[in-house]
Amino acid sequence: MCEECRELVDPKEEQLDRILAHYKQEKGALIPVLQEAQGLYGYLPEHVIKHISKELRIPSAKVYGVVTFYAQFRLAPMGRNVISVCLGTACHVRGGAKVLEAIEKNTKIKDGQTTEDGRFTLEIVNCIGACGLAPVMSINGNVHGRLNADQIPGILAEYK
* Contact yes or no for 127/140 (Cβ under 8 A): no
Q: From the annotation, which residues make up the binding site for [2Fe-2S] cluster?
A: 86, 91, 127, 131
Q: From the annotation, which residues make up the binding site?
A: 86, 91, 127, 131
CB burial readout 12-34, b (16+ within 10 A) else e: eeeebeebbeebeeeeebbeebb
Parallel, antiparallel or unpaired: strands 137-139 and 142-144: antiparallel
Sign of the CA dihedral with 101 first, then 103, 106, and 107 last = negative
